[in-house]
Amino acid sequence: MPKLIVVTRDGNEHVVEGEAGLSVKDVIKDAGFDELLALCGGSCSCATCHVHVDPDFAHLMPKMSLDEDDLLDSTSDRDERSRLSCQIPFGDALDGLRVEIAAED
């Protein structure tokens, strides 16, 4: 199973295994990280699953939709590495992906 590195808001790094085919949001939630709220359940209608993606994996990210871009504009912690974790399909190509859970708005 591919591994995902999750950095929590307190700066602690955790390595979890994730099932290919899930979203990065689902992998994080399934691993028990409650600070990633993901209130809309992955329908790209909120920004509570906001993460910062390691720049080494930027070229592997799917193109950002206009909806995702608009939702990220509503966050106070947006930067060039910002993505909604519900919009990132997880799989073998992202083995070792490191994401930081964004600050809570």
pLDDT in single tens digits along all 105 residues of the chain:
999 999 999 999 999 999 999 999 999 999 999 999 999 999 999 999 999 999 999 999 999 999 999 999 999 999 999 999 999 999 999 999 999 999 998
For the chain, helix (H) and strand (E) counts, in that order, are 2, 5
Query: What 3-state DSSP class applies to 47?
Result: coil
Q: What is the pTM of this model?
A: 0.96
| Residue-range domain boundaries for the chain | 3-101
Q: Which CATH superfamily is domain 3-101 in?
A: Beta-grasp domain (3.10.20.30)
DSSP, collapsed to helix, strand or coil, labels residue 21 as: coil
CA–CA gap between residue 26 and residue 42 (Å, rounded): 8
Query: Rg of the chain over CA atoms, in angstroms?
Result: 12
